[in-house]
Amino acid sequence: MAKKTILYIAMSQDGFISGENDNLDFLNEYQVEGEDYGYANFISSIDFIVVGRKTYEKVLAMGYPYHNNKKVFVITRNSKESKNENLTFYNGNIKTLICQLKDSTNKHIYCDGGAELASYMLKSNLIDRLILSVIPLKLHKGTLLFENGLAPNAFELRKKEEYKSGLIQYCYELNI
């Protein structure tokens, strides 16, 4: 199995991953009891999580701890120590990190965003697969996932799944 770096992220129909002031409340409207949109299976397929500092802090502030059994790399501009052996604050070369992680695992790597990290990794061809969960509403303001609202054209749609909640999940593979 080829190890992939996967951007797994939700966004509104108009391409926003958060509303004004980094608000993520719109995601809660589409949580359905008993439906995880494939997240548990996805998490079982990865060993590492790479996440931007702002996204990491926002998720923790919302009361969602990161997976204790996964190694998490928080991409930051400032070096910081961690008391948790599964948590590393990383301020080095991201491409080097991804190469090292791919060499040290039999599973995939999860890029959890946010927009700045995702944009950098997409431009650097470090994302092999995009799993986009599109929430059926428009935010009109906030943080766009893709600059100018456009997805990179080096990806090919491989799978589309529609859910009762109206959420549509697209899986794209890098095609270069």
* Domains in the chain: boundaries: 39-163
pLDDT at 144: 92
Average pLDDT over residues 131-140: 96
Where is average pLDDT lowest: 20-29, 147-156, 164-173? 147-156
Give the CATH number of domain 39-163: 3.40.430.10
Average pLDDT over residues 118-144: 94
Q: What is the pLDDT of residues 52-92, one digit of tens each?
A: 999 999 888 888 777 778 999 999 998 889 988 999 999 99
pLDDT at 149: 60
pLDDT at 148: 66
Q: Residue 1: pLDDT band by 50, 70, 90 thresholds? A: low
Q: What's the CA gap between 172 and 130, in Å, rounded?
A: 5
Burial 40-58 (b: 16+ CB within 10 A, else e): eeeeeebbbbbbbbbbbeb
CA 8 from centre of chain? 4
Q: Residue 38: pLDDT band by 50, 70, 90 thresholds? A: very high
